[in-house]
Chain A
Amino acid sequence: AQRVTQPEKLLSVFKGAPVELKCNYSYSGSPELFWYVQYSRQRLQLLLRHISRESIKGFTADLNKGETSFHLKKPFAQEEDSAMYYCALQTGANNLFFGTGTRLTVIP
């Protein structure tokens, strides 16, 4: 069965500090992984997907199949990064399995 685990419900970092939001997955097939973000009073939106291998708003995420992880990283956190972050796994069935989310707070 598919599973996405985000071990931290809350994460606080100081502005300018590095940030890492953890995501581990369980899936027997070939995974496709995403990070979605929800800013205050806004709708859920795609931040990045692993197959794109791009950096969005300074965030990157690398798929590590050996550790079954897809951690989200940013070297220098900004106040505007404060939001709810969800890791999601897409199976071949074309639907997304979401983790429970991590609320990131960047302290000025």
Chain B
Amino acid sequence: DTGVSQDPRHKITKRGQNVTFRCDPISEHNRLYWYRQTLGQGPEFLTYFQNEAQLEKSRLLSDRFSAERPKGSFSTLEIQRTEQGDSAMYLCASSPRDSNYTFGSGTRLTVV
């Protein structure tokens, strides 16, 4: 286990299409987080899982966004009907109980 893996690294999509990203956390980490980072900004919290339970969602996470972690292992983040404003780097992180985060390399989404 070499860390948090995210797939794909880059995604270009047309406006209105749906996209799905995957995150594989460090296997012994029960907490998983999704963040979004736009140009010139720091990462912004989107949502948090403890095992398979989604415990917190940011108001940034509109109805077009949904995240799952079905077996408490990997997680997916889906964006429906993408808009140009969704273009950003989507970061996943995982942590054990003490919230010492390990981040993935991110998925860069470009909506054209």
The reply to whether A93 and B56 contact each other, CB–CB distance below 8 Å, is: yes
- Interchain CB contact (< 8 A) of B101 among A9, A46, A93: A46
Band of interface residues on B:
20 to 34
Min C-beta distance of B58 to chain A, whole Å: 8
Residues of B within 8 A of A97 (CB): 45
The reply to whether B40 and A100 contact each other, CB–CB distance below 8 Å, is: yes
Question: Does B99 have its Cβ within 8 Å of any Cβ on chain A?
Answer: yes
Interface centre among B35, B43, B48, B105 (most CB of A within 10 A): B43
Residues of B within 8 A of A95 (CB): 33, 45, 48, 56, 58
Closest B residue, CB atoms, query A34: B101
8 Å CB interface, A1-21 against B: 4, 9
Interface centre among B3, B42, B99, B103 (most CB of A within 10 A): B42
The reply to whether B41 and A100 contact each other, CB–CB distance below 8 Å, is: yes
Question: Does A96 have its Cβ within 8 Å of any Cβ on chain B?
Answer: yes
Question: Does A44 have its Cβ within 8 Å of any Cβ on chain B?
Answer: yes
A101 to B37, CA, bound (A): 11
The reply to whether A43 and B41 contact each other, CB–CB distance below 8 Å, is: no
Question: Does A69 have its Cβ within 8 Å of any Cβ on chain B?
Answer: no
- Interchain CB contact (< 8 A) of A86 among B42, B58, B99, B106: B42
Question: Does B100 have its Cβ within 8 Å of any Cβ on chain A?
Answer: yes
Chain A residues close to B by CB (< 8 Å): 4, 9, 43-46, 49, 86, 88, 90, 93-101
The 9 closest A-B pairs by CB, nearest first: A98-B42, A95-B45, A44-B103, A43-B105, A98-B43, A43-B103, A86-B42, A100-B42, A99-B42
Chain B residues close to A by CB (< 8 Å): 3, 31, 33, 35, 40-45, 48, 56, 58, 91, 99-106
